[in-house]
Each structure stands twice: as structure tokens, then as C-alpha cells.
């Protein structure tokens, strides 16, 4: 058993499943968007807002943004631990990885906030 | 001399094959500090190449099977110079030892009822030879040795045995009282020379098939244990008895299991005749190995060999069908396709008798302790020294081993030695520390190679030695050739003494290892030559053109070779089994 | 043919180098790569490599031949040599001790980590434990592993995390015991595998399948472990 404090769930299986489930959510969400655009070839802004502000799409959108965060963290964490490892670079790796993971976490956090802000402006209108 | 680093153990096992690992496991489980010192990582040992199985009367294929029948077959197979008390012990304890292996996880093939699968092998019978062919060889497909070796290594991991992998034992260390107190060994990875001290030393170094040019043996089977024993004054028993396996792939020396004939394969000559029917009307292709090998050589000598040079015969398996071959002999299919470029499901396999097994070795008691002989001819145990497996001669194989009996020998006597050594250690062992001259004596060889400054390439001497042995000590032997070989061997000793180790580096120096192995090959070759020339009869694997008959009056005994004066003495065969009546020698017919 | 061998002799070479040897191939038959090495070593005894059974069952002589991992003793020269050139290097991803000899201790440690032995808490019967032919068939393709390390050292995930990712060989053995009807420690075994590295670093690259000299399929075994983990997790 390899212990890793910074992995999302600390369980390989949970991470593995989360990554797959989040991918499915993102895929389905993508399909909904593409499907809407295909079904309404001459869509205008009002129709778009109306579609995005529907409760189902709001919830789905929120779920997708969270999924994106989860998916990104697991993926980026894995890449970081592949390339920035003590095995290859010694103690230096811990420091480098901390910076890398900090940056990734910050980016994901910002994306989450901005994403949610954009999404939830639809029902309430922009300022 | 610089003081050697020392390591200390309760039990030191030299060699990590089936016998060594079984003994080590027994000792480790009882809590003694046990080390296995092996020149290869344990799962690379030659046990891994054993294919067909482990013969044992567990009564799976035939519920009425009886270990006494197995004993009868083994005694007959040995041509009556197998020790009957030891054979009785092996056949009787066998089932329990095989079950233990199964409990450790060995992935045996299974019957429909879920028991261990057993196949017919050569020399097996029911009802003391009167009930026809038996199926007594327990198998894991045709990879039984691999399955067994890995299982035993795994059991040792569980038992937390210490492994000194890729360490080469140069020589035994004998103290002033003649007690063996460990070995001087080289850690191959670093080149460091270490005195590995132990209360008991078990040699489990396997055979020495590499004294021949063509052998089924691994490149590492160089008789290290035999040679170490000889150099420390311990004699070697029945070393003239070399088994030639009937079915080595022609030109490659790679083994095709006897199990292939057990599953229904048979040999044919260039006329397509199933010739074994002439030589062994009852057992046919499943006669004893010595019988089949001789028949093959006669066929070839009389011009009925196959191929452009008429120098081999064919093993026919295609009639068995692809399903049976894939299910029962998948390893053979792979080996034949890779090395003989033959698909056994379509064409016959070119085979020739090939050096396979050393029946001789260090004479031991049933508990594994090495035995020597005093000047009056009485047995006396060697303190501190044990031997198990192919390097030992308990003797259960006598003049000819039956297929499937070697794996049984490994585990039965590996275990017996382990159990006995536990008792010895429990009672307490104390011995005199070896003096510095004792250690220097054990380091002589290393020093000799280290100090060599010019001379012949050891690889050239080795090749000549192997050709000589192949030419003079094969299936049939003649006085003339053997005499000639003896004088050539004397020449070779001089060549080895003046050979040159060019590479003197420390780290993973395999040239040094091969040079030290060459010393060992030479010891075994000399012992073989003296013993083979000395035994003036034909018995089992030892077939002489000039003495065609078995001579029970003079030679119903073991030979015992001492290297100090290159003498050959006789040692009585044990005819005193404790449970059954002894089997008296009769003519051997299959 | 030109045979180019990776040479590094500590104490003599400051850094690794490639050494070229000319080798005359027989016209009438193919040789195995090990045959070539043995003949070269008879002349230059300083070339170091491991070998033992020379028939593909002991797993000693795993090496990298013209870029592909395999056993020297069962790889015909004609199969790997390109443009009359044979390039021999040690297995990648493990420290080199000397020439073609690598330090396998990391590989063995990972093997030991999966507890590669049968665990059964019930007292053994007087005879063998029964196992049906179907149950036994589940071990085929698993128990035959010879620990040559060709698979594990061709796996990028192992190159990156050799101390944390078990690697294909160890995982194949892990599944060999998970799949054995006689083993009763399935839950404990699975619990020890459920971390983000040990099993889940497998990315399905399948280099292991490609390089296995015994035609085994570690990727399939790894997927079966994942399936077992999913089943035990739900």
C-alpha cells in the first residue's frame, strides 16, 4: 500500500472511478450542448440563455464544472507524480511538486469559481 | 592475508534449487537463521527446467496405487545399486511431501474429480511389475519443475529465509578437527570475498552435466558441490553413472520430457518403424531411460538413423492431436517450435540421447549428512556437511534414475535434511574456529586465478574438456577410449593450472566465475573417468562394450572415488529396508 | 554482422560506452542472440551478462535487443538484427551494475510486496486441497511467469514510479494468487492494492504484453484486479 496525502480520495479505486464518472458527465454535457446547437441552427442569445437557465441544465452544468475540477485534479496530480518524483530527482521533487500542485489547485479553483459564476449568471442576468 | 569479512548463520544452504529451497524452508520455519547462498537468483536454478513431473504414489489416477510398487520400480530402475532403505523412505514419505507442496500452492494440473493429475512415465508398473503400466507422475502441465521451484521460493519468502543471491561458493572451510564450518564465497556483484560461517553447511548445488559438450543441463550446472566436496577430502559415489535422456532435441541439447511418451508419443527410425517394440516388448517407449537411449544409439549405429547424416531418430507426437498437445505439453510445443523449428502437431521431432542427470554424487545418509569411508571400509559421517538433491547420492537412483524421481528426491531429502538439522541445532553445535590457514586453504583457487599472468584462455580448455567427455563417456563406453581420456585429462589438469584469467575486475566479473567453474568441471570429469574405467561391468547407465554383462559378484556395490590419490573403492549397497522385504537382484527386463 | 554491446565496467569505465564486435553468422542456420554472446565471450571474457538454462525458462538473460526487450536465449538473431547490425543493451529502467547486468532488487521488492505465496487459513487436509479443472484453468497464463523483468522494464509507468507502481510482473503474480481458488486472503490482498499507485498507475500502454517472452498478458491480469477491486468496493 502506497500512501499519498495529496491524491484526491487516497483510494486508487475511488480516484479511478471518479475520473471515469466525471468523464462520462463531461461527455454527456458536451453532447447536450452540441445537440442543442444542432437542433437549433439559428440560435440567438435569448434562446441560449433560456436553455442554459433551465433548472436541469443549471444543475447539469454545475455538476459538469465540478466534474471538470475533479477530473483535472486527478489527471494533473497523476502527471505530476509521474514526472516530478523523488525516484528521479531526489528531495528536490517534493518542493517542485508542491509548487506544481499549488499552481494546479489554484487554477482549478479559479476555473471552478469563474465557471460557476458564468453559469449562474444565466437565471439572474448579468449586472 | 587480509582478514576476511565474516557472516554467520545456523544453517547455510549452498544452492537455491528445489532441494536447497526445501531444506531452507524447513529450517527457516523453525526459527533458525538460515541462508541460501546461490550463484544465480533462486528461480534461475536448473530445477526450473524440469518438465514432466514428480513421481509419487498418491493414488489419484489409480486409487489402488501403492508406494511399494513405486519402490519396486525404483529399485529395478537403479539396476539394484540403489540403497533400498533410502528408496523405501522416499517412496513411503513421498505422498506427504507432495501434498505439502500442493498446500504451499503448487499449481498441479487436475483430474475431473479435482485431484492432482498423474501421467504415465518410463519404468513405472503396477503390482511389482506384473500389473502393466502405471500412471504415477504428478504434473503441472509440462512445467512441473518451474511450478515447484517458484512455489518453494515463495514459501521461503514467507518463511523469511535470508538469500545471498549471486554469490559463488569457492570452497568449503574445514577446521583442524575436520569439521566443515562454512564456505568461502564471492559476492559476484561486488567481488568481495567473504567467509560465510555456519553450524551446518548443506550442499545443494545440483549436477554437472556441463562436463559434456551436449547436455540438457543449464550452463550453470558445473558440479560446484561435487568439486568442493572432493577438494575437502570427501569422496564421491557412483560418479560413472550419467543418465542420457533419450529425447534431447538433436543438435540443441534441449530436453523433450518423457511425459511426451507418457502421453502416447513414440520413437521411430528412418524406416518409420516403432523400434522400441523390438527392444522392450512390454514397456516399449516407456522402458527405463538407459534402455531406450541404448536402443536409439544401436538404431543409429546400424544405419537406421534419420536425417541426412542418419544421426538421430524421430519422436512422433502428431497423432496425439493439437488439443492434447496444447493441454498437456504446451511447454514442449513452445520449445520445439523455437529451437527445433518443428511443430510437433504436424511433424516428428528429431531427438538424440543427451546427457541429462548425474546419478552419482556425495554419499549421504537418509538425513542428508555426508558420508566418507575410513581405511577399514566403514562408513563415517562428515561433521558439519550435508548434501541434498542431484549433488547427493543417497542413493535412490543407483545406476539409472527413473523419470519423475528427481523432483521427488529433491523435496523428500531436502525436507529430511531440514528436519534432521533442526534436531542437531536444538541439541547445540560447537566446533573449533577455523585457523587462518584453514581459510587460506579454501581461498587457494581464487588466489591462483587472481595471480595468473599469462596462459591459455579457460574457455578453450573447457571446450576441449567437454568434447573429450562427450567422445569417451557417452552411452557406450570402451576401455580403450577411457584409458586415452584419462591421460588426456591429466594433460588438461596442467592446462587448467596454467590458464589465465585476463579480467581481474571486481564488479560482476563472470569471467572469474567461469574460471572457478572450470576447476570444478575438471574435478568431476576426472572422477567420472576414473570411476567409469574402474567399474568393469555394464549396469544401468554405465554400458561397456568390453564388459557387456552385469557382474553382481564383483560390482553389486557403489563405487567411491577419492580425489587425493585418485583411487576408487567399493561401498556396500543397502539391502535393508525397514518395512518391506528387500528386493533381490534379478535380470532387468522391460 | 556488427554486434554493438553496451559496456560499462565499474573501476575501468568512467561512463558507459558502446563496443562493436564483428561476428560471422553461419549461412546455413539461425543463431539465438545468446549464442552470439557466448561466442563473443569466449574471445572477450570481460563481457558480462546473466544466463543459465539457455532454453527460455529460467529468465536470466532478459535484455534489450535492437530496442526491444526479450530473452537472448530464445530470440533468433534474424528476428531482431536490422541492416546487419545487432545492438544489445541492458534492460531499461533499472540501474546498471555492469555491461548487460542490471540491479533487479527493485523488481524483486515489488514482487515480494504482493505476498506471492498461497494464504489459506484453514488447516490443510490429509491429502491435497481439491481444485476443479475449471478453477485450475484460471491460473493458466499467470503461473508461467519466469520473473525475467522484460515486461516491467518496458513499462513507462514503472520507469517513472518503480518504487510505487508494482509493475506488470508483480501484478501478474498478484492476480495469480487472487485467482487461485485455494487462497483465502482475497480481501486482504485487495485492500493492500487500493492506492493510487500500486495498480492504478497502469495506463494500458501494453508494452508488457508486447515484450513478454512467454506470451503472457499482464495487462489483462491488471484489468482483472481492477474488476475485483470494483466488485469488492461496491
Q: What are C171-223's pLDDT values in tens digits?
A: 999 999 999 999 999 999 999 999 999 999 999 999 999 999 999 999 999 99
Nearest to B143 among C43, C53, C144 (CB): C144
Tell me the CATH number at C201: 1.10.1060.10
Question: φ and ψ at B363, to 5 degrees?
Answer: -65, 130
Nearby residues of A34 by Cβ (< 8 Å), 6 or more positions away? none
| d(C-alpha A26, C-alpha A48), whole Å | 19
C96 in the same domain as C187: no
CA torsion sign, B265 to B268 to B273 to B276? negative
Adjacency order of strands within the sheet including B242-249? B254-255, B242-249, B349-358, B313-316, B266-268
- Is 70 exceeded by the pLDDT of residue B482? yes
Q: How far is A114 from chain C (nearest CA, A)?
A: 29
Beta pairing, strands B180-187 & B167-174? antiparallel
| d(C-alpha B215, C-alpha B252), whole Å | 8
| Residue pair B551/B537 in contact by the 8 Å Cβ criterion | yes
Structural domain ending residue among the three candidates C102, C134, C157: C102
User: What pLDDT was estimated at residue A125?
Assistant: 61
Which partners does chain B have (≥3 C-beta pairs < 8 Å)?
A: C
| Residue pair B108/B52 in contact by the 8 Å Cβ criterion | no
User: What pLDDT was estimated at residue B1?
Assistant: 58
Tell me how many domains chain C contains: 2
C203 in the same domain as C131: yes
| Torsion of Cα atoms, A53 then A55 then A59 then A65, to 10° | -10
Tell me how many domains chain A contains: 1
User: What pLDDT was estimated at residue B140?
Assistant: 97
Please choose, from the candidates B134, B152, B151, B142, the residue with its C-alpha nearest in 3D space to the C-alpha of residue B53: B142
The answer to whether A101 contacts chain C (CB < 8 Å) is: no
The count of other CB atoms within 10 Å of the CB of residue A124 is: 8
CB pairs under 8 A between A and C: 60
Nearby residues of C27 by Cβ (< 8 Å), 6 or more positions away? none
Please choose, from the candidates B377, B381, B388, B449, the residue with its C-alpha nearest in 3D space to the C-alpha of residue B415: B388
Which residues from chain C sit within 8 angstroms of residue A13, using beta carbons?
194, 200, 226, 229-230, 233
Nearby residues of A121 by Cβ (< 8 Å), 6 or more positions away? none
Please choose, from the candidates B74, B158, B62, B61, the residue with its C-alpha nearest in 3D space to the C-alpha of residue B110: B61
Structural domain ending residue among the three candidates C102, C136, C160: C102
Tell the residue number behind the cell numbers 520507469, with chain if given: C159
The answer to whether C113 contacts chain A (CB < 8 Å) is: no
C130 in the same domain as C198: yes
On whether residue A5 sits in a domain, the answer given is: no
Q: Which residues pair with B119 in a beta bridge?
A: B137
Q: Which residues pair with B370 in a beta bridge?
A: B364
C159 in the same domain as C86: no
Q: Which of B119, B136, B231, B289 is catalytic?
A: B289
What the block records as the C-alpha cell of B205 is: 548445488
| d(C-alpha B494, C-alpha C19), whole Å | 34
Note which residues in 32-61 of chain A have CB less than 8 A from chain C: none
Region of C140 on the Ramachandran plot (φ > 0 left; ψ -120 to 50 alpha; else beta): beta
Give pLDDT tens digits for B245-282: 999 999 989 999 999 999 999 999 999 999 999 999 99
C124 in the same domain as C93: no
Q: How far is C216 from chain B (nearest CA, A)?
A: 13
On whether residue A58 sits in a domain, the answer given is: yes
Provide the CA B574 distance to its chain's centre, in angstroms: 21
B33 is catalytic: no
- Is 70 exceeded by the pLDDT of residue B51? yes
| Residue pair B492/B461 in contact by the 8 Å Cβ criterion | yes
Tell me the CATH number at A108: 1.20.1300.10
C225 in the same domain as C125: yes
| d(C-alpha C220, C-alpha C224), whole Å | 6
Task: Assign B169 to helix, strand or coil.
Answer: strand
The answer to whether B308 contacts chain C (CB < 8 Å) is: no
Beta pairing, strands B162-165 & B34-38? parallel
- Is 70 exceeded by the pLDDT of residue A94? yes
The count of other CB atoms within 10 Å of the CB of residue C126 is: 7
- Tell me the pLDDT band of A127, cut-offs 50, 70 and 90: very low
Tell the residue number behind the cell numbers 568442493, with chain if given: B228
Helix (H), strand (E), coil (C) string for C141-169: CCCCCCCCCCCHHHCHHHHHCCCCCCCHH
Tell me B409's DSSP state: H
Interval B2-30 mean pLDDT: 96
Domain residues for A107? 12-124
Nearest to A1 among C161, C192, C233 (CB): C192
- Is 80 exceeded by the pLDDT of residue A126? no
| d(C-alpha B396, C-alpha B82), whole Å | 5
The answer to whether C128 contacts chain B (CB < 8 Å) is: yes
Q: How far is B394 from chain C (nearest CA, A)?
A: 26
| d(C-alpha B549, C-alpha B543), whole Å | 9
Interval B490-519 mean pLDDT: 97
User: What pLDDT was estimated at residue C231?
Assistant: 93
Inter-chain CB proximity A87 and C161 less than 8 Å: yes
User: What pLDDT was estimated at residue B3?
Assistant: 80
Structural domain ending residue among the three candidates C102, C137, C166: C102
On whether residue A23 sits in a domain, the answer given is: yes
Domain residues for C48? 2-102
| d(C-alpha C85, C-alpha C1), whole Å | 6
Which residues from chain C sit within 8 angstroms of residue B111, using beta carbons?
133
Show the beta-strand stretches assigned E in chain C.
2-7, 17-22, 62-65, 68-71, 85-89, 96-98, 101-102
Burial (0-12, 13-18, 19+ Cβ within 10 Å), B431 = middle
The answer to whether B222 contacts chain C (CB < 8 Å) is: no
Q: What is the pTM for the complete model shown?
A: 0.96
Longest alpha-carbon distance in chain A: 58
C60 in the same domain as C74: yes
Burial (0-12, 13-18, 19+ Cβ within 10 Å), B271 = exposed
Beta pairing, strands B254-255 & B180-187? unpaired
C155 in the same domain as C42: no
Q: Which of A92-96, B296-300, B364-368, B447-451 has the lowest mean pLDDT?
A: A92-96
- Is 60 exceeded by the pLDDT of residue B430? yes
Nearest residue of B to residue C108 by CA position?
B41
| d(C-alpha B478, C-alpha B381), whole Å | 35
On whether residue A2 sits in a domain, the answer given is: no
The answer to whether A6 contacts chain C (CB < 8 Å) is: no
C227 in the same domain as C187: yes
Inter-chain CB proximity B43 and C117 less than 8 Å: no
Nearest to C233 among A10, A13, A87 (CB): A13
Q: Is the peptide bond before B395 cis (omega within 30 degrees of 0)?
A: yes
Task: Assign A62 to helix, strand or coil.
Answer: helix
CA angle B562, B567, B573 (to 5 degrees): 70
- Is 60 exceeded by the pLDDT of residue B188? yes
Which residues from chain B sit within 8 angstroms of residue C12, using beta carbons?
505
| Residue pair A76/A102 in contact by the 8 Å Cβ criterion | no
Which residues from chain C sit within 8 angstroms of residue B249, using beta carbons?
none
The count of other CB atoms within 10 Å of the CB of residue C206 is: 17
Give pLDDT tens digits for B316-355: 999 999 999 999 999 999 999 999 999 999 999 999 999 9
Residues in chain C: 234
On whether residue A83 sits in a domain, the answer given is: yes
A and B make contact (3+ CB pairs below 8 Å): no
What the block records as the C-alpha cell of C182 is: 485455494
What the block records as the C-alpha cell of B247 is: 529425447
Note which residues in 176-195 of chain C have CB less than 8 A from chain B: 177, 180, 182-183
Question: φ and ψ at B190, to 5 degrees?
Answer: -105, -20
Note which residues in 493-522 of chain B have CB less than 8 A from chain C: 501-503, 505-511, 514
Q: In this prediction, does ipTM exceed 0.95?
A: yes
Give pLDDT tens digits for B211-227: 999 999 999 999 999 99
Nearest to A13 among C162, C194, C197 (CB): C194
Which residues from chain C sit within 8 angstroms of residue B143, using beta carbons?
57, 144
Please choose, from the candidates C163, C171, C166, the residue with its C-alpha nearest in 3D space to the C-alpha of residue C95: C163
Residues in chain A: 127
Mutate to test the interface with A, among C110, C160, C162, C196 (most CBs of A within 10 A): C196
Nearby residues of B120 by Cβ (< 8 Å), 6 or more positions away? B133, B134, B135, B136, B137, B262, B263, B286
Task: Assign B452 to helix, strand or coil.
Answer: coil
Inter-chain CB proximity A15 and C200 less than 8 Å: yes
| d(C-alpha C35, C-alpha C21), whole Å | 14
Mutate to test the interface with B, among C53, C90, C120, C179 (most CBs of B within 10 A): C53
Note which residues in 102-121 of chain C have CB less than 8 A from chain B: 103-104, 108, 112, 115-118, 120
On whether residue A84 sits in a domain, the answer given is: yes
The answer to whether C14 contacts chain A (CB < 8 Å) is: no
Tell the residue number behind the cell numbers 508542491, with chain if given: A98
Q: Which residues pair with B527 in a beta bridge?
A: none
C129 in the same domain as C91: no
Nearest to C74 among B112, B115, B338 (CB): B338
Q: Which residues pair with B571 in a beta bridge?
A: B558
Amino acid at each position: 500500500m502506497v500512501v499519498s496525502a495529496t491524491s484526491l480520495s487516497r483510494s486508487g479505486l475511488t480516484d479511478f472511478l471518479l475520473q471515469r464518472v466525471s468523464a462520462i458527465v463531461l461527455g454527456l454535457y458536451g453532447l447536450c450542448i452540441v445537440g442543442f446547437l444542432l437542433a437549433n441552427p439559428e440560435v440567438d442569445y435569448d434562446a441560449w440563455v433560456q436553455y442554459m437557465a433551465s433548472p436541469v441544465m443549471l444543475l447539469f452544468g454545475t455538476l459538469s464544472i465540478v466534474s471538470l475540477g475533479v477530473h483535472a485534479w486527478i489527471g494533473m496530480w497523476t502527471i505530476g507524480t509521474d514526472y516530478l518524483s523523488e525516484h528521479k530527482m531526489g528531495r528536490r521533487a517534493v518542493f517542485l511538486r508542491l509548487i506544481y500542485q499549488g499552481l494546479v489547485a489554484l487554477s482549478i479553483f479559479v476555473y471552478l469559481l469563474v465557471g460557476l459564476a458564468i453559469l449562474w449568471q444565466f437565471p439572474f442576468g448579468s449586472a | 592475508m587480509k582478514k576476511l569479512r565474516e557472516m554467520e548463520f545456523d544453517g547455510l544452504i549452498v544452492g537455491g534449487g528445489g532441494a536447497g529451497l526445501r531444506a531452507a524452508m524447513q529450517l527457516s520455519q523453525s526459527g533458525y537463521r538460515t541462508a541460501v547462498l546461490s550463484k544465480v537468483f533462486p528461480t534461475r536454478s536448473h530445477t526450473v527446467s524440469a518438465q514432466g513431473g514428480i513421481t509419487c504414489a498418491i493414488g489419484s489416477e489409480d486409487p489402488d496405487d501403492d508406494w511399494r510398487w513405486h519402490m519396486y520400480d525404483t529399485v529395478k530402475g537403479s539396476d539394484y545399486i540403489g540403497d533400498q532403505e533410502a528408496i523405501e523412505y522416499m517412496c513411503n514419505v513421498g505422498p506427504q511431501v507432495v501434498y505439502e507442496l500442493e498446500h504451499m500452492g503448487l499449481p498441479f494440473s487436475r483430474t475431473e474429480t479435482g485431484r492432482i493429475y498423474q501421467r504415465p512415465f518410463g519404468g513405472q508398473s503396477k503390482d511389482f511389475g506384473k500389473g502393466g503400466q502405471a500412471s504415477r507422475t504428478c504434473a503441472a502441465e509440462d512445467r512441473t519443475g518451474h511450478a515447484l521451484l517458484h512455489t518453494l521460493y515463495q514459501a521461503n519468502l514467507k518463511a523469511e529465509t535470508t538469500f545471498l543471491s549471486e554469490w559463488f561458493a569457492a570452497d568449503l572451510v574445514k577446521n583442524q578437527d575436520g569439521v566443515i564450518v562454512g564456505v568461502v564465497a564471492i559476492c559476484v556483484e561486488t567481488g568481495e570475498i567473504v567467509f560465510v560461517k555456519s553450524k551446518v553447511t548443506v550442499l545443494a548445488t545440483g549436477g554437472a552435466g556441463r562436463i559434456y559438450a551436449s547436455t540438457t543441463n543449464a550452463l550453470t550446472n558445473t558440479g560446484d558441490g561435487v568439486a568442493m566436496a572432493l577438494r575437502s577430502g570427501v569422496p564421491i559415489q557412483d560418479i560413472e553413472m550419467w543418465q542420457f535422456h533419450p529425447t534431447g532435441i538433436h543438435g540443441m541439447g534441449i530436453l523433450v520430457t518423457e511425459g511426451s511418451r507418457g502421453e502416447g508419443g513414440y520413437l521411430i527410425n528412418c524406416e518409420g518403424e516403432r523400434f522400441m517394440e523390438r527392444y522392450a516388448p512390454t514397456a516399449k517407449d516407456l522402458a527405463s531411460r538407459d534402455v531406450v537411449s541404448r536402443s536409439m544409439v544401436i538404431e543409429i549405429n546400424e544405419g537406421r538413423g534419420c536425417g541426412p547424416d542418419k544421426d538421430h531418430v524421430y519422436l512422433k507426437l502428431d497423432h496425439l492431436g493439437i488439443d492434447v498437445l496444447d493441454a498437456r505439453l504446451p511447454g514442449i510445443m513452445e520449445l520445439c517450435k523455437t529451437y527445433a523449428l518443428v511443430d510437433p502437431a504436424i511433424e516428428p521431432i528429431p531427438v538424440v540421447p543427451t546427457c541429462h542427470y548425474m546419478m552419482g554424487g556425495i554419499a549421504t545418509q537418509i538425513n542428508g549428512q555426508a558420508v566418507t569411508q575410513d581405511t577399514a571400509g566403514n562408513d563415517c559421517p562428515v561433521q558439519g556437511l550435508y548434501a541434498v538433491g542431484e549433488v547427493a547420492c543417497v542413493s535412490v537412483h543407483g545406476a539409472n534414475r527413473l523419470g519423475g524421481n528427481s523432483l521427488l528426491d529433491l523435496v523428500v531429502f531436502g525436507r529430511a535434511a531440514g528436519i534432521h538439522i533442526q534436531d542437531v541445532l536444538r541439541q547445540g553445535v560447537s566446533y573449533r574456529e577455523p585457523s587462518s590457514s584453514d581459510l587460506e586453504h579454501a581461498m587457494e583457487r581464487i588466489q591462483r586465478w587472481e595471480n595468473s599472468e599469462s596462459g591459455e584462455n579457460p574457455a578453450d580448455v573447457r571446450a576441449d574438456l567437454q568434447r573429450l567427455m562427450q567422445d569417451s563417456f557417452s552411452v557406450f563406453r570402451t576401455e580403450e577410449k577411457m584409458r586415452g581420456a584419462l591421460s588426456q585429462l591429466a594433460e588438461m589438469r596442467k592446462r587448467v593450472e596454467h590458464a589465465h584469467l585476463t579480467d581481474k575486475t571486481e564488479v560482476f566479473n563472470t569471467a572469474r566465475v567461469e574460471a572457478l567453474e572450470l576447476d570444478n568441471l575438471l574435478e568431476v570429469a576426472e572422477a567420472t573417468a576414473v570411476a567409469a574405467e574402474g567399474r568393469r561391468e555394464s549396469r544401468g547407465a554405465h554400458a561397456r562394450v568390453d564388459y557387456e554383462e552385469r557382474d553382481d559378484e564383483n560390482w553389486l556395490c557403489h563405487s567411491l572415488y577419492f580425489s587425493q590419490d585418485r583411487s576408487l573403492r567399493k561401498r556396500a549397497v543397502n539391502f535393508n529396508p525397514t518395512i518391506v522385504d528387500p528386493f533381490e537382484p534379478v535380470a532387468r527386463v522391460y | 554482422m556488427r554486434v554493438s554491446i553496451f559496456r560499462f565496467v565499474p573501476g575501468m569505465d568512467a561512463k558507459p560506452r558502446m563496443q562493436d564486435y564483428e561476428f560471422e553468422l553461419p549461412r546455413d542456420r539461425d543463431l539465438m542472440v545468446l549464442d552470439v554472446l557466448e561466442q563473443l565471450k569466449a574471445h572477450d571474457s570481460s563481457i558480462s551478462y546473466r544466463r543459465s538454462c539457455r532454453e527460455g525458462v529460467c529468465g536470466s538473460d532478459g535484455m534489450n535487443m535492437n530496442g526491444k526487450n526479450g530473452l537472448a536465449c530464445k530470440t533468433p538473431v534474424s528476428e531482431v538484427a536490422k541492416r546487419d547490425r545487432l545492438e544489445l543493451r541492458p534492460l531499461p529502467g533499472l540501474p546498471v551494475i555492469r555491461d548487460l547486468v542490471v540491479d533487479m532488487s527493485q523488481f524483486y521488492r515489488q514482487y515480494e510486496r504482493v505476498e506471492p505465496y498461497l494464504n489459506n487459513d484453514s488447516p490443510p487436509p490429509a491429502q491435497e486441497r481439491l481444485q476443479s479443472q475449471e478453477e485450475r484453468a484460471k491460473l493458466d497464463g499467470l503461473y508461467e511467469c519466469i520473473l525475467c523483468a522484460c515486461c516491467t522494464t518496458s513499462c513507462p509507468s514503472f520507469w517513472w514510479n518503480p518504487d510505487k507502481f508494482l509493475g506488470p510482473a508483480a501484478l501478474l503474480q498478484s492476480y495469480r494468487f487472487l485467482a487461485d481458488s485455494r487462497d483465502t486472503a482475497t480481501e486482504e490482498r485487495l485492500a493492500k492494492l487500493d492506492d493510487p499507485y500500486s495498480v492504478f498507475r497502469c495506463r494500458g500502454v501494453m508494452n508488457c504484453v508486447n515484450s513478454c517472452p512467454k506470451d503472457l498478458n499482464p495487462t489483462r491480469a491488471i484489468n482483472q484486479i481492477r474488476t475485483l477491486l470494483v466488485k469488492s468496493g461496491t
